[in-house]
Amino acid sequence: MYYFVNENIFTFNSGTEFSAINRQQMFKKQGVKSKIITRNYNSRLHSDIKDHGLKDEDILSMYDFFQNATDIKVKHNKLRYSNIIDKRNYHIVFIDSNSSLIKYHGNTVAKVIIAPATLGEIGMIVYYDRFGNETSKDIYDSRGFKSKTIYFHPNGETGHELIYNISGEPVIEITHMFIEGKVFPTMYKLINYKGKNVRFNTENELFTFFMEEILSDKKDILINDRPSLIEAVANVDTDCNKYQVLHGAHTTDANLGGSNDGKVYENLRPLFSKFLNCYKGIIVSTDLQKHDLQKFFNNIEIFSISDFAVNYIEPSSVKNDKSSNKEMLYIGRLFEDCHIEHLLKITQFVKAEFKDVKLHLVGYFESDDYSKKIKKQIKDMKLENNVIIEGYKLGKDKEKLYQTSDVVISARNSDALGISMLESFSYGKPFICYDVNYGPREFIKNGENGYLVTQGKFHKFAANIIEVMKNSDKMNNSDYYKKLIDLFSYKKVIESWKKLV
Q: What are the tens digits of pLDDT across the range 89-100?
A: 899 999 999 999
pLDDT digits (tens, 9 = 90+) for 115-126: 988 889 999 999
Judged by DSSP in three states, 26 sits in: helix
Helices (H), 318-471: 340-351, 368-380, 395-404, 419-426, 439-443, 458-470
Residues 465 and 31: their CA atoms lie apart, in Å, by: 42
> What's the pLDDT at 397?
92
> CB-side exposure of 300: number of CA atoms within 13 Å?
23
CB 264 within 8 A of CB 251: yes
In a domain, 185, yes or no: no
% of the chain residues with pLDDT over 70:
96
Instruction: Choose between 158 and 261: higher pLDDT.
Output: 158
Alpha carbon of residue 331 to chain centroid? 14
> What pLDDT does residue 322 have?
47
* 342 and 292 in a common domain: no
Cα distance from N-terminal residue to C-terminal residue, the chain: 11
Q: What is the pLDDT of residues 464-495, one digit of tens each?
A: 999 999 987 778 777 889 889 999 999 999 99
289 and 411 co-located in one domain: no
> Model confidence over 195-234: pLDDT tens digits?
999 999 999 999 999 999 999 878 899 999 999 999 999 9
Residue spans of alpha helices (H) in 239-339: 269-272, 287-296
CATH number at residue 419: 3.40.50.2000
Domain contains 49 = yes
Domain stops at, among 257, 279, 304: 304
For residues 342 and 423, membership in a common domain is answered with: yes
Banded pLDDT at 324 (limits 50, 70, 90): low
Rounded mean pLDDT of 400-419? 92
Last residue of a domain, one of 109, 126, 143: 126
Mean pLDDT of the chain: 91
Mark whether 364 and 255 lie in a shared domain: no
| Per-residue pLDDT at 315 | 67
Q: From CA 45, how far away is CA 52, in angstroms rounded?
A: 11
Residue 346 and residue 438 share a domain: yes
Within-domain flag for 362: yes
C-alpha to C-alpha distance for 107 and 101, rounded to whole angstroms: 10
Q: Are residues 381 and 461 in the same domain?
A: yes
465 closest CA partner among 431, 439, 434 = 431
Same domain, yes or no: 13 and 97: no
Domain, as residue range, for 38: 2-67+205-304
In a domain, 89, yes or no: yes
Last residue of a domain, one of 260, 278, 304: 304
Does any domain span residue 33?
A: yes
Smallest CA-to-CA distance from 41 within 158, 129, 197 is with 158
Residue 494 lies inside a defined structural domain of this protein: no
User: Do you know the residue count of the chain?
Assistant: 501
Are 462 and 341 found together in one domain? Answer: yes
Residue 150 lies in a domain: no
Same domain, 474 and 338: yes
Q: Are 323 and 457 contained in the same domain?
A: yes
The number of folded domains in the chain is 3
368 is a domain residue: yes
Specify burial of residue 87 (Cβ count, 10 A radius: 0-12, 13-18, 19+): exposed
Together in a domain, 294 and 380: no
- pLDDT tens, 244-255? 999 988 887 655
- Residue of 383, 347, 381, 340 whose CA lies nearest to 361: 340
Which whole number is the average pLDDT over 318-334? Answer: 76
pLDDT value at 447 more than 80: yes
Regarding whether 423 and 288 lie in a shared domain, the answer is: no
